[in-house]
Every structure is written in structure tokens, then in C-alpha cells.
Amino acid sequence: QVQLVESGGGLVQPGGSLRLSCAASGRIFSTVAMAWYRQAPGKQRELAARIMSGSSTNYADSVKGRFTISRDQAKNMVYLQMNSLKPEDTAVYYCYFEGTEIGGPDGYKYRQVWGQGTLVTVSS
């Protein structure tokens, strides 16, 4: 099965930077999209950044200009570079994968997979 392993979260001061990484592993045939969602305390999960198979991207208005999503398709990795961090960026950040898994004798299986989340805290 496809699995996502996240890293890079932690505590950072306002104005600082963090780089999140997500590694997708398993019997991946193709990747349609990878994304970073986030969920702040008491709020719904929201899309922060997404990158499609054609490398097009979109961002939440609140992070546009500060966050950059990128991918290494050969390594099945996705990154989120976060600059000029604000206290309101504090949230659990979740990696997301959407693509096709090799299903063995059963053929291919379309998968939507979530990581376990990594906590980003922006505070003095």
C-alpha cells in the first residue's frame, strides 16, 4: 500500500522558515497530485498548497507568496518551503497523495492517501 512519511515540523519563531518533506512509498504507478493540507486548533482542515502531475500549483490566499510547494517525481517526494511564518500558520500539516497503485493480479487501484501529520508551531 502507498504510505506517506512526513518530516520537518517543529517550533519556529515568527518570521522564520521551515521546510516540510513528504516521502511516498509503495507500489506507485503514477501520481496525479500531491498536496499539503493544514488544520489549526478549532478549525477545519484546509488546502495550503497543491501540485499536479503537470507541475501546476495552487495555494491558499493566506500563504501565497510565502509558501512554495515542489516535488521530486523520480523520488516520489514533495516539499513545502515555508517562509515569513506567522503565528496563524500554527497547525498540523498533512501530506496528501492521489494516484494509481499497482495492484498485482487485481490490476491498478486508484488511491487517495493521507499522512499522519506533523505539527508546526510558530511562536515567540
DSSP at 10 = E
Asked if residues 120 and 10 have their Cβ atoms less than 8 Å apart, the reply is yes
For residues 107 and 81, what is the distance between their CA atoms, to the nearest angstrom?
A: 36
Burial of 98 (0-12, 13-18, 19+ CB in 10 A): middle
> Cell numbers at residue 49, please?
498548497
Predicted local confidence at residue 5, as pLDDT:
96
Q: What is the 3-state secondary structure (H, E, C) of 54-119?
A: CCCEEECCCCCCCEEEEEEHHHCEEEEEECCCCHHHCEEEEEEEEEEEECHHHCEEEEEEECCCEE
Predicted local confidence at residue 106, as pLDDT:
77
Predicted local confidence at residue 103, as pLDDT:
83
CB within 8 Å of 81: residues ≥ 6 apart: 17, 19, 67, 68, 69, 70
Residue 105: pLDDT band with limits 50, 70, 90: confident
Q: pLDDT, tens digit, for every residue of 32-91?
A: 999 999 999 999 999 999 999 989 999 999 999 999 999 998 888 999 999 999 999 999
